[in-house]
Structure 1
Amino acid sequence: MDSIFHEKQEGSLCAQHCLNSLLQGSYFSAVDLASIAQDLDDVEGAHMAEGGVDSVEYLRFQEQPSTNMDDSGFFSVQVISKALFVWELVSIPIGSSEAGIASVYPERECAFICNFREHWLTIRKLGNQWFNLNSLLTGPELISDTYLSMFLAQLQKEGYSIFVIRGSLPECEADQLLRLIPAVQTHPPKLLSDDAQSSNQKASTGVGVTQDDLQKALEASRGLTSGYKGDDELQAAIQLSLRGTENQVSEASEPVNQDELRRKREAFFNRQNPGPTQSSAASNQSTPSEVPSTSKEEEKRELSTAKERVESNTNNSAKTSTSPSCTVVAEQETGELLDSGMTESAMLEAAIKMSIESVEQKT
């Protein structure tokens, strides 16, 4: 449809736009039509002067403004007819006998021009399709053959005078192209007034977008955000990190099994001094319901007992040893263990080490 010639409204030059759209080219200007209107005024003035230049009719005619044009750019139907005559075209009222069956079968004609008050518009066939070339529209409007008769009837109902164009219209590029490739129009053109109002709204907001454009942009943004893969990956990484932290906390917060530690300690002393330890173990087994105390005082008492047992073992080993310094070393090491504030497990390991050293010295 780009090949179709269509002039948009400028001032009140709708007659010029109507003719050029009909002929599919810039064949007439406002000056050309004004010249034709002036010629018609001269002819009418000459006719009125036949009754005398001093007659009342002639003087009144001279005082009145032109009926064929005005300062706004309006031109009369006589000017239009005179301009068409240059191209050997005639305009016939659709309801006249000369128009024949044009009102019944309008699709058989080649073009129509329509006038309402000071506005003119063209309806023309290009290729095998009809188009409304109204200069008040933003572009050509495609009209089907079925809708053509209803469209003309609607114009007549609104007060338009419709003229059938008879004669040979000049060849044009749009006519040739549309015979080969028919036009397809998905959205009809808007009125220039509506388009201008929309543009003013965009300018008043300071942003070249409408509410519809903004809504579409917001919906597209929501779709991209919801479908963004990075968000899912980030959430998964956070969950894994939290789980790892929970595992570390649970592992670090697990309490030391005091019973297991005490059993290991007693087993060690049983190996060093079987008699007293076995009786102690038996007493522990006889009262399984008693919960061992983990207070600091009890731990000190147990450490003192361990010291005594270690000293006893050290004294026994000293009797058979040729090096009396072992006893002094054992006492010093035991004292250091008690004074260092070591944990039970660390003391147990140190005591085991001391026992092994004493046994090695015996052998």
Structure 2
Amino acid sequence: GPLGSMESIFHEKQEGSLCAQHCLNNLLQGEYFSPVELSSIAHQLDEEERMRMAEGGVTSEDYRTFLQQPSGNMDDSGFFSIQVISNALKVWGLELILFNSPEYQRLRIDPINERSFICNYKEHWFTVRKLGKQWFNLNSLLTGPELISDTYLALFLAQLQQEGYSIFVVKGDLPDCEADQLLQMIRVQQ
């Protein structure tokens, strides 16, 4: 029945602080990224930053300070930066556009015409995405996917913005997933 269609939605629950991983996997609807892969992206970014800093001379004060600082792209708890998420999505030909940026707001695009959003506040990341014809909150802190009605979507995003969240629109074609195909045919009842 309708419950089965909800069960087809891939939903990784929170484990430690790996919300960036859950956020990506819930967006792509599968086990696409592991902490190891995200760490390697973070290390690569750190290395690129280090090389840019080194161009100013390895003896510079700035460079020494930079080397002493912990990575800005990840930490021991499993937090990953927006750059890591952005680079991970580039692998899938996806890009992030800041939804709450003035440039984007000027386009006056109804969020309903988008396919997915990634939301971030301090160290928490989560995905809101359309599957079939309905929107779902795939926050890894929830016990399961939460249906967001079309009428509530804009309000929900506005509420997050007020709470200080950065909201990014995910642009590009998401990989095919079972839930999306199934939910084209069946609507989930809340």
TM-score norm. by structure 1 comes to 0.50
Q: Is the 8 A contact 2:100 2:166 kept in 1?
A: no
Map of 2:11 onto structure 1: 6
Q: 1:74 aligns with which of 79, 87, 94?
A: 79
Find the aligned partners of 1:180 and 1:20 in 2 and give their Cα distance: 23
Q: 2:131 aligns with which of 126, 129, 137?
A: 126
- How do 1:25-174 and structure 2 match up within 5 A? 25-96=30-101, 97-98=103-104, 100-102=107-109, 105-174=110-179
Q: Which has the higher contact order (CA 8 A, sep 6+)?
A: 2
Q: Which runs of 5+ in 2 are unaligned?
A: 1-5
Q: Is the 8 A contact 2:89 2:95 kept in 1?
A: yes
More strand, by proportion: 2
Please state how far the C-alpha of 1:51 moved relative to its aligned partner.
1.1
Q: Is the 8 A contact 2:100 2:161 kept in 1?
A: no
Please state how far the C-alpha of 1:64 moved relative to its aligned partner.
0.5
- How do 1:200-349 and structure 2 match up within 5 A? none
What are the superposed Cα offsets for residues 8-34 of structure 1, whole Å, 9 maximum, x if unpaired? Answer: 000000000000000000000000000
Find the aligned partners of 1:179 and 1:127 in 2 and give their Cα distance: 4
Please state how far the C-alpha of 1:162 moved relative to its aligned partner.
0.4
Please state how far the C-alpha of 1:95 moved relative to its aligned partner.
2.6
The reply to whether residue 21 of structure 1 matches residue 34 of structure 2 is no
Please state how far the C-alpha of 1:142 moved relative to its aligned partner.
0.3
Find the aligned partners of 1:32 and 1:98 in 2 and give their Cα distance: 31
Q: Which runs of 5+ in 1 are unaligned?
A: 186-363
TM-score norm. by structure 2 comes to 0.94
Find the aligned partners of 1:14 and 1:95 in 2 and give their Cα distance: 21
For this pair of structures, how many residues does the alignment match?
183
Find the aligned partners of 1:32 and 1:125 in 2 and give their Cα distance: 26
Q: Which 4+ runs in 1 deviate beyond 2 A?
A: 98-102
More helix, by proportion: 1
Please state how far the C-alpha of 1:98 moved relative to its aligned partner.
4.3
Find the aligned partners of 1:132 and 1:52 in 2 and give their Cα distance: 47
Q: Percent identity, aligned pairs only?
A: 68
Structure index of larger Rg: 1
**What SS does the aligned partner of 2:42 have?**
helix
**What SS does the aligned partner of 1:35 have?**
helix
**What SS does the aligned partner of 2:12 have?**
coil
